[in-house]
A = this chain, B = another copy of it.
Amino acid sequence: MNPRNETEEEVLLRVRPEKEEIESICAVAEMLLNAVNESGTARGMVVGSVARNTWISGDRDIDVFMLYPPELPREALEEEGIILGRSIASRFGGQFVEKYAEHPYVNATISGFDVDLVPCYAVTDSARIQSAVDRTPFHTRYIQSHIGGLEDDVLLMKQFSKAGGVYGSDLMTEGFAGYLCELLVLRYGGFSALIEACQSWRAGQTIDIMGHQGKQFDDPLVVIDPVDPNRNVAASVSRAKMGEFIELCRGYSASPGLEYFYPPAKDVMTCNEFEQILSERGTGLYSISFATPHQIPDIVVPQLRRSSAGIASLLERNGFVVNRYSEAMGDETCCLLFELLVDTLPPLCVHTGPPVDNAVNAGKFRDKYLTQPVFSGPFINGDGRYSVEIPRKWVSASTLLASSDLFSARLGKHVMKSMKRNCDVRVGADCWDEDFKDFLGTFFHKISSAVALKKQ
């Protein structure tokens, strides 16, 4: 194994939890575990990075699973789980909320820790899991029994990915989950070897530690779950995020500086800077804001993506030219952003009709436009079809976006609902929004993390 370099030793000093932190977190975990076990109905298990000894100093997350017998009906599991979660939360904390993933769980603040109390089934074989959370105990056991000696490498990998903006498997980040970081460290036998190996990854790269892959995936990165031959742990990693990770590894290899673990703070965009950039780019900027739908992010995020793509395609269909578009999800408000190279058009457009061969339809088309105001035509084009130049429906992108035609775009269901209730379309400098200044900054300063680090 490569010896650690100075940077990595320095990083480890910062990210490795000290004895005191370990003791304090273990005490709380133990207390919660006992509370679950004392209930008599469920068995407690600490999962996640705390259980695996791979948490980064300062992390305050404790995941406690409440394992119920597999015979328990699903409804009963959900009900009992929530009741037990609530009672534990009230006993030790006070503040708690119910959340919902595949089924409901309790999220509480206990002794300063962010605690999830999650009911699941205690299945004995990972092939028999009844819901996705049932798989988590298997992940924890697998890592616990294999990671010995590589805990520091996992800490380095996690901190490296976080710093590079590629950590997190949520659909907005499309990056690397904690479990994926652990598996990659395991596969290559350490952080340095991982950094080295990733540099020659290609699209479709497949890693199958157990050699038991059960099906094909066409994701950019494929890491077969050691506890489930039919699951790609890296399914959430986008082509772009995979590429950024590869470039981060190349950059760090060439120049292993501390900035790859602790990047300089990004400049926050100001309204003045925003206006200056807009005027330099000379493009047309359009934002559409609306209330964030009350669904979990895993439902809302794909709908935001589909909606922005749908509106971009609506704009293009109407002759406008889209340079880029993006989307942001805030707690209260979502924002879709479109930058246009062309946002106004002349008042005419070509409308192509049926081929002359089709006497009936060609005749209808011709006669229709004989009596309507046209710019020219009908004429027969080089493909033998009737064609006519008629008034264009939308000569400016802003009137199109402000019209009900906006809803003819392919939009996500809940996004459409929220937009129909109320949506705020803004143009140019009016798109400035304090709440989305990071989003706007990233949009205009768009640059890969590895490139940004080199550019410092």
Separation in Å of the A301 CB from the closest CB of chain B?
15
Do A444 and B355 touch (CB < 8 A)? no
Instruction: Name the segment of A89-97, A291-299, A445-453 touching the other chain.
Output: A445-453
Q: Is A455 an interface residue (CB 8 A)?
A: yes
Of the residues B242, B370, B378, contact of A384 by C-beta under 8 Å? B242
* A144 contacts B by Cβ under 8 Å: no
Contact B346 A283 (CB under 8 A): yes
Pairwise interchain contact B220-A380, C-beta atoms closer than 8 A = no
Chain A 418-456: CB-based contact to B (< 8 A → 1; otherwise 0):
000000000000000000000000001111100100110
CB 8 Å contact bits of A329-373 with B (1 = contact, 0 = none): 000000000000110011110100001110100110010001000
Q: How far is the CA of A224 from the CA of B239 in the complex (A)?
A: 57
Which residue of B341, B386, B447 is within 8 Å of A377 (Cβ)? B447
- Say how many copies of this protein the assembly contains: 2
A197 within 8 A of B: no
A270 interface residue per 8 A CB criterion: no
**Which residues of chain B come closer than 8 Å to A350, judged between CB atoms?**
323-324
Interface residue? A250 (CB, 8 A): yes
A203 interface residue (CB < 8 Å to B): yes
CB-based contact A250/B363 at 8 Å: yes
Say yes or no: A203 contacts B451, CB within 8 Å. no
Q: Mark A159-179, 1 if CB is under 8 A from B, else 0.
A: 000000000000000000000
Are A359 and B250 closer than 8 Å at their CB atoms?
Answer: yes
- A238 on interface, CB distance cutoff 8 Å: yes
- Known A-B contacts A203-B384, A281-B346, A342-B342; A378 and B246 likewise in contact (beta carbons under 8 Å): no
A454 touches B239 (CB 8 A): no
